[in-house]
Structure 1
Amino acid sequence: MVTLTAADVTAAAVRTAGRVRRTPVLQVGPALWLKLEQLQHTGTFKARGAFNRQLAAQEQGELDPRRGVVAASGGNAGLAHAHAAAELGVPATVFVPETAPAVKVGRLRALGADVRSVGSEYARAYEAAVEFARERGAVFCHAYDQVEVAAGAGTLALELVEDLPALDTVVVAVGGGGLFAGVAAALEGRARVVAVEPEGAPTLHAALAAGAPVDVPVGGVAADSLGARRIGDLGFDLARRTGPVSLLVDEDAVRAARQDLWSRFRVVAEHGAATAWAGLQAYEPRPGERVAVVVCGANTDPSDLR
């Protein structure tokens, strides 16, 4: 079984140096900080994994400058891989469901990606991307369940412990589990991870209850970014190894958390990112516990923020 280690995350930090932004931390309480990862390229943490995946493939001689990379995603992962490919000067093909919002398709094309609409669900777009990689020789880039992708995401945790050496706990939102896996691997034996999911997409929570990854129904306000139908193998493996605190939050809590981040700190967050902040309503830190919450993305319509 493929595993993810702290060494993979350290290697990713070296590989992506100068390619990704070192995002700031904002202290919002006596022992509480926000990791402002929504300021990353393309507006989410996904750029870290995209660069690490593509640069690693380049190092290994797998990245043909004519064939480039391929991904399946109408959202944040697709944008990140398209951005990284443009920076590296290689073509990117992104398969999206026919239902993908026109604004996201437009952003992908603006980044130079060849966008191909296939099927009504993400699963069909994913199958088409895998087939394209096999037939054309393009490097396949997973949205979350790939060692290089998850290790790249974990580099934000290395920044956190450099900025906050006495950090006890990091709170992250979970969708497919790439961010969680990277952060948990980076912090294994060093800090606790609190994994927060919306009730409408409880991939990790359901897997822990079942003892294995299982499909779950997906819906709700955060489904555009936390809409994986099951936790990835890497995320589940790290959960078994590290024993995170697993929390579920409801729709109202996610909406309120998004508004709270804006009202109190003027931080724009998509609903998936606000899910982590909502987790603080269910997680009670110990006295003096130093906690950082990852605001992982800002790709949202801010017009309803007051």
Structure 2
Amino acid sequence: MLATNPDLAARWSQLRNEKPALRIRDAAASLGVSEAALVALGTATPLDGDWRAILNEMPGVGRVMCLTRNDDCVHERHGRFEDVQVTGPHGLVLGPDIDLRLFLGQWKLGFAVSEPLKAGERLSLQFFDASGDAVHKIYATDETDRAAFDALIARHTAAEPPAFAPAPRAVDPVDRPDSEIDIDGLRAAWRKMRDTHEFFGMLGKFKVGRVQALRLVGDEFARELPARALRGAMEAAAADKTPIMIFVGSRGCIQIHTGRIAHLLDTHGWFNILDPDFNLHLREQAVARVFSVRKPTDDGVVTSIEAFDGHNRTILLMFGERKPGKPELEPWRAIVARLERQAAS
């Protein structure tokens, strides 16, 4: 069972009364407990841990809302699970709406959660890592086949409540000194890239942090921009109706939106995209560094806007809409070039 303080339920209730809009991840941090511990206080049915089977069965429940977040960005996408490829510790969901990269080795605990609303309930599947942080959530919507969703939960209800004690969060890695990095080798390897997926292997080969590499590689491939450039990229894409891709990741999932964005709004310290099938909530004050990045590929240069927090953790990545075999959209390149000119002026 999850270990909880005897008074945790009372403290959680008081905090919700004081700050009803506070997100549960932030509430858990404020109370000094894991998010999983707060979820377990409610109507939460433990799941059996067969994550692969659950995900492979998701196409049968119809449209849902998927949510993946990190400390500073929440990514919510409506759609159906299609083209689910989950057979080992890694998996893919490659539908036009729900687009996920899954790292199931990080999934340690799951619940079916029922939350009371003014009219009815909100039902979800919520999955947590070894620290009790949520790695992914799947919510039923008005378009979900509730009978199929309920049957999936019944099939995967755990026979006994799980034994779970949250582990400390992993310590952020420390970059080696810049003087120890083979910068010329890094630049040469970067120039030889033929696919964006080679990027992570290159960082590992040169034992260099992501932000560190962006700082060191030079203006040919990466330029630091003001933090406000992230908002600027979204505003420009909305104004120009340029289709984009936005990647937001947890330890156990990367969730991707592809398409246009339209409705942008500031609320209570969050910068939001509020479209019918896609919502994004960005804690803008947490954005410490933003870079424009160019990676060579066989399809031409791929350009991104990449945002990081004060600990060099990735908040989100933003690209122009693209598919393998097709060049990058020129309107997206124009947006990035405009942001770079503004930063240089």
Report the TM-score range of the alignment, normalised by the length of the smaller protein: under 0.3
| TM-score of the aligned structures, taking structure 2 as reference length | 0.23
> By percentage of residues, which structure has more strand?
2
| TM-score of the aligned structures, taking structure 1 as reference length | 0.25
Which structure has the greater CA radius of gyration? 2
